[in-house]
Amino acid sequence: MLTLINDKRMYVSLLSKFQQMKISMQFLECIDEQLTRQYLAITGCKITKAWYGLQIPHEHQPVISYGETSTMVLGLTMPQHTLEATIAWRSKSGRIYRISDEDIDCNDLECYFMTPSEKIMQRWGQMPDKSLLFWEGLTMDFKISYAEKDQGLKCSAYFFECVNRPISNYFEKSTGIKVDHNIKVSQIISPYEKGEVSSIGLSLSVMNFAFPVKLCWRSRSAAIYTPSDEDFDCSDVEFWLEDLQPAYYMKQINLYKDTPQLPFALKNLNYQLTVNLIQTDCRMEMVLKKGMAQREVELLERIYSFIDSYNDNSEKKHRKYGVVHNANGYLDQNRENLLHLEIDIGSVGPDFFKKLFKLFNDMDAFESVTVD
């Protein structure tokens, strides 16, 4: 089962290398067990991907305070948002534990979320996996910051939380197109019009092509809400989209319907390879052979090692072959023989995929690999 701190060795390494701080494996193991249990109880949601959970701030050292109740500020990455989280711990014995301590009695340590509140965690935990406004790689905070800085529009995350589910459902019913990672709202844009029926512009991305649409809303109570409002009842507001162009969206989607022709030949593969689409956010579904699910960590480590070696070799040649930005793999929560691999392919090209697909063949672990 995935937890809030999956790669504890990475935590130790990152804090040591970039923040010059020491944190012990035992401390991480103690807080991970308790915080994961609390997170699951509060949100009611499983942790479905390895990079969801507690993250170390990249820009600065985690803020830590020691005392009868000690605290540390981290990031809590949820499926659609990253929240600032303050974790707190105290001991039953009165001992003040430091994050570097190696001799920790986990039964003596009590750990819990001081912030965010349970209400906020529940709200973000209940966001649909596939929706127009919330999607991996671009947080709501970023969109709101862009809207204010570049468009002069003051917006709140709460307002667009209310918007998200209704317009995602509205889009699917109006266009007949299912929302997925290729269809999303990338920006909040001008103009904004306030009135009995208010509206604001959105940039809708379909297969990386941008289409302007209008988000409209009105209240059942006759109250006039603005995009910056943070304290209102979502159920009082009706949201919908205007200026949708379903035919154009389908045209862009259909451009990628046929299987792309790879610019290289692969013969005698010991697995079935299906390539539907290769784009920057490359996603693979890999059906494992019998008995291979237990070797998930070993298989992923071999893939990650290949990517690291590929990047190192390319860096030595002034990035001649490009570099992969990121890769994450995980077992499906419902099908134990299905391995997901998601790669931000960065600047790599056909040479990378030719070698990657050959690696899969050498691993002899897969029945099939599907690339979307």
Residue ranges of E strands in the chain: 53-55, 64-65, 70-78, 81-91, 109-115, 183-193, 198-206, 209-219, 237-242, 272-275, 281-288, 326-331, 338-344, 366-371
The answer to whether the bond into 79 is cis (omega within 30° of 0) is no
Assigned token pair, 201: 């512009």
Return the CATH architecture of domain 272-371.
Answer: 2-Layer Sandwich (3.30)
Question: In Å, what is the CA distance from 80 to each residue of 76, 128, 141, 324?
Answer: 11, 8, 11, 23
> pLDDT tens across 280-300, in order?
778 999 999 999 989 999 999
pLDDT of residue 256: 63
| Mean pLDDT (the chain, rounded) | 87
Extents of the domains making up the chain: 8-125, 140-254, 272-371
- The model scores a pTM over 0.75: no
The pLDDT confidence band at residue 246, using thresholds 50, 70 and 90, is: confident
The pLDDT confidence band at residue 247, using thresholds 50, 70 and 90, is: confident
pLDDT of residue 137: 46
